[in-house]
Amino acid sequence: MTNQRIHAAALMIGMLAGILTMAIHPTSFDLHASAESITRVNHINTVTHILGLASIPVTLLGAFGISSRIGWNHISGLSAFIVYCFASMAVMLAAVADGLIGSSLAQEAINVDDSQRQLLMMALHYNFQLNQALAKVYVAGSSCAFILWSIALAYSGRSTRVLGIAGGIVGLCGLIAVLGGHIQMNAHGFGLIILVQAIWIVLVAIWLFRETPLEAR
């Protein structure tokens, strides 16, 4: 298997893992629930975000393949990879905050009195706001990366023009959604963005599979 096809496979695996992460992501949390219920939700939340964290380097490997195939001398392709790396760092921190720190704080709330519970609630609220901000940074950053990749693909030839236009639309819609406040960064809203992005990324992966590698030409 050529490196190009390895990158394509990484894109597909990374996106599928991202979709699975959002599919099993807990949609609500109640600190007033029973200790067993809180522990169960924390376990699911932790496992979910570990899966999400594991998908990030895999997807980055695939993203490297997109820019590599476009050509590192193409400023749009190079810029797209740099911006996507920045966005990936944001979503990594968001996953750590929500899945690891949040779960740990929620677990501590089981055996504390009301006065300490209020402090934990404040910490959880801050952690939630941090997660939301980082998720917005990811959506904005990844959308910009999609637009940059799309510019490069649109001008690379007829075979990638439609793919480039589609990616540009996906990136632009993502930017409008997050900057205009039209979508919430909860499991449903963020999950919808991940799904739409994944569809385009999988199409790019199929193109990488089918396209003749540069070294073979």
Give the span between the Cα atoms of 162 and 134, in whole angstroms: 31
| Segment 37-94, tens digit of pLDDT | 888 888 898 999 999 999 999 999 999 999 999 999 999 999 999 999 999 999 999 9
Give the span between the Cα atoms of 161 and 153, in whole angstroms: 6
Phi-psi region of 181 (alpha: psi -120 to 50; beta: other; left: phi over 0): left
Alpha carbons within 13 A on the beta-carbon side of 93: 16
Could you identify the residue written with the tokens 């905050």?
Answer: 97
Inter-residue long-range contacts of 191-198, CB under 8 Å, 24+ positions, other chains counted: 191/19, 191/22, 191/23, 191/25, 193/139, 194/18, 194/19, 194/21, 194/22, 195/19, 195/22, 196/170, 197/15, 197/142, 197/146, 197/170, 198/15, 198/16, 198/18, 198/19
CA distances from 104 to 41, 97, 124, 142, 208 (A): 11, 10, 10, 29, 41
pTM of the model: 0.90
Residue 30: per-residue pLDDT = 67
CA distances from 151 to 42, 76, 89, 93, 176 (A): 42, 7, 23, 29, 18
Residue 31: per-residue pLDDT = 66
| Segment 152-203, tens digit of pLDDT | 999 888 888 999 999 999 999 999 999 998 888 888 899 999 999 999 999 9
Give the span between the Cα atoms of 17 and 56, in whole angstroms: 9
Residue 215: per-residue pLDDT = 45
